[in-house]
Amino acid sequence: MPLDNIDKQIIQALLNKGRESFNKLKDLTFKSGIEHMSHTGIRKRVAKLKDSEIMNIQGNLNLNKLQYYFAFIFLELEDYEKVKEIIEAYSDCPRTFLLTQVTGQYNLIVGVTGQNIDVLHTYLNHCGPTNKKGVLHSEILFTSNIQIPKFLPINLFSSISQEHKCGNRCKKCEAFLCGDCNGCGNF
C-alpha cells in the first residue's frame, strides 16, 4: 500500500507523540495548503494504517531507563530450514527484541536483553539459540545501551511462559534449579 502525504503526516505526528488524540491529529494534518483533515478522516486513516499492518500503536519500553543490557547473537546455520526453526522457536521469547535474516558469513541475527550481564550469560549458556542443533558458528556482542530506537516493542512481563516453543524446559534447567534464572516471563 503506497503512503500519501496525509498518511506520512499522521505517522510522523504519532511518532512524536503516540497518544495524540484524533482532534489534535486533525490540527497537525493538512490536506493541501491550510485545509485540515477531519477527526473522522484521521480516525479512518489510522485504522487503515493499522489494518494494513503498516503502523502499530503500542506501549514500547525504554530498556536503557530500566538499565537492561543487550546482546546480539550472530548465527551461521547449516541450512534455511534451521534458520526458520530458530525464528519460529524464538519469535515469542520474552528476551528477544530482534530476529532478522542476513546474508554473508552469518544468516541470522538475534537481539536479546536481560537485567544484567550475568542474566544474559545464563540465558546464552542455557536457553539461547547458540545451543541449538544446526548452528555451525556463532558470535556474541554485548552492549549496555541501544541508541536508536529509544523504545522497543518487547513483552518482558508476560505471565505466559514461551519455553514450549524454544524447546527449553525450565524445570530441567540447571540455572533455573539453582536460582540463577527465574524462567522466561519472570523479569
Shared-domain flag, residues 31 and 98: no
Distance CA 149, CA 127 (A): 26
Distance CA 167, CA 112 (A): 17
In this prediction, residue 109 carries a pLDDT of 98
Shared-domain flag, residues 75 and 38: no
Shared-domain flag, residues 133 and 163: yes
For 143-167, give the secondary structure using H, E and C: ECCCCCCCCECCCCCCCCCCHHHHC
In this prediction, residue 135 carries a pLDDT of 95
Residue 20 pLDDT greater than 70, yes or no: yes
pLDDT in tens, 158-175: 655 555 566 666 666 666
In this prediction, residue 37 carries a pLDDT of 85
Q: All 3 cell numbers of residue 67?
A: 538499565
Q: DSSP assignment, residue 37?
A: P
Shared-domain flag, residues 40 and 88: no
pLDDT in tens, 37-46: 888 999 999 9
Shared-domain flag, residues 113 and 166: yes
In this prediction, residue 75 carries a pLDDT of 97
In this prediction, residue 103 carries a pLDDT of 93
Domain assignment present for 61: no
**Is the N-terminal amide bond of 2 cis, ω within 30° of 0?**
no
123 and 131 Cβ atoms separated by less than 8 Å: no
Q: All 3 cell numbers of residue 168?
A: 527449553
Shared-domain flag, residues 119 and 88: yes
Shared-domain flag, residues 96 and 129: yes
Domain assignment present for 185: no
Number of folded domains that form the chain = 2
Q: All 3 cell numbers of residue 115?
A: 537485567
Residue 184 pLDDT greater than 80, yes or no: no
pLDDT in tens, 97-117: 999 999 999 999 999 988 888
Domain of residue 37: give its range: 5-51
First to last CA, the chain: 38
pLDDT in tens, 111-158: 998 888 888 888 888 888 998 899 999 999 999 889 998 888 887 766
| Site of grid cell 548452528 | 135
In this prediction, residue 79 carries a pLDDT of 95
**Is the N-terminal amide bond of 153 cis, ω within 30° of 0?**
no
Shared-domain flag, residues 113 and 44: no
pLDDT in tens, 53-98: 999 888 888 988 989 899 999 999 999 999 999 999 888 888 889 9
Domain assignment present for 119: yes
Domain assignment present for 130: yes
Domain assignment present for 182: no
Domain assignment present for 56: no
Domain assignment present for 152: yes
Shared-domain flag, residues 107 and 147: yes
In this prediction, residue 174 carries a pLDDT of 65
Distance CA 114, CA 39 (A): 41
